[in-house]
Homo-oligomer: A and B are copies of this chain.
Amino acid sequence: MRRIAVLTSGGDGPALNACIRAVAREAFHHGLKVYGVRWGYKGLINGEIDELTSRDVGGIMNRGGTFLGTARCPEFKELKVRRTALRQMNQEGIEGLVVIGGNGSLAGALALHEMGFPTFGVPASIDNDINGTDMAVGVDTTLNTILDAIDRIKDTAASHQRAFLVEVMGRDCGYLALASGIAGGAELILVPEHEGPSLETIADTVVEAYTRGKAHCILVIAEGWKPGTQAVADYLSARKAELGFDVRVTVLGHVQRGGRPSAYDRLLATRMGAYAADHLIDGESGQMAAMRGNVLESFPLAEAVKTLKPLNLALLGLSEVMD
Q: Residues on A close to B: CB < 8 A?
A: 8, 12, 14, 16, 21-22, 25-26, 29, 39, 55, 58-59, 61-66, 69-71, 134, 140, 143-149, 151-161, 164, 179-180, 182-185, 213-215, 248-260, 262-264, 266-267, 270-271, 274, 292-294, 312, 315, 318, 321-323
- On whether the beta carbons of B270 and A152 are closer than 8 Å, the reply is no
Assembly of this chain: how many copies?
Answer: 4
CA distance A143 to B8 in the complex (A): 26
With both beta carbons as reference points, the residue of chain B lying nearest to A315 in the complex is identified as B271
| A70-B159, A262-B144, A267-B179 known; A255 vs B149 contact (CB < 8 Å) | yes
State the main secondary structure of chain A at its contact with B: helix
A29 to chain B, nearest CB (A): 5
CA distance A318 to B275 in the complex (A): 10
| A182-B267, A263-B179 known; A155 vs B294 contact (CB < 8 Å) | no
| A12-B159, A270-B183 known; A254 vs B322 contact (CB < 8 Å) | no
- On whether the beta carbons of B69 and A161 are closer than 8 Å, the reply is yes
- On whether the beta carbons of A63 and B155 are closer than 8 Å, the reply is yes
- On whether the beta carbons of A26 and B251 are closer than 8 Å, the reply is no
A185 to chain B, nearest CB (A): 5
- On whether the beta carbons of B183 and A267 are closer than 8 Å, the reply is yes
With both beta carbons as reference points, the residue of chain B lying nearest to A262 in the complex is identified as B144
A sample of 24 cross-chain residue pairs with beta-carbon separation below 8 angstroms, ordered by A number, consists of A21-B322, A22-B322, A25-B322, A26-B322, A55-B213, A58-B214, A59-B215, A64-B156, A65-B159, A70-B160, A134-B294, A140-B263, A144-B262, A146-B263, A151-B258, A151-B260, A152-B259, A156-B257, A179-B263, A180-B263, A182-B271, A183-B266, A274-B322, A293-B293
The 6 closest A-B pairs by CB, nearest first: A64-B155, A152-B258, A155-B258, A65-B155, A12-B159, A183-B266
- On whether the beta carbons of A321 and B134 are closer than 8 Å, the reply is no
- On whether the beta carbons of B254 and A250 are closer than 8 Å, the reply is yes
CA distance A294 to B322 in the complex (A): 19
A102 to chain B, nearest CB (A): 14
A262 to chain B, nearest CB (A): 6
CA distance A271 to B149 in the complex (A): 22
CA distance A323 to B22 in the complex (A): 10
- On whether the beta carbons of A140 and B12 are closer than 8 Å, the reply is no
Identify A293's interface contact among B21, B155, B292, CB under 8 A: B292
- On whether the beta carbons of B145 and A152 are closer than 8 Å, the reply is yes
Residues of chain B within 8 A (CB-CB) of A154 are: 65, 258
CA distance A185 to B60 in the complex (A): 10
| A154-B258, A257-B152, A258-B153 known; A69 vs B143 contact (CB < 8 Å) | no
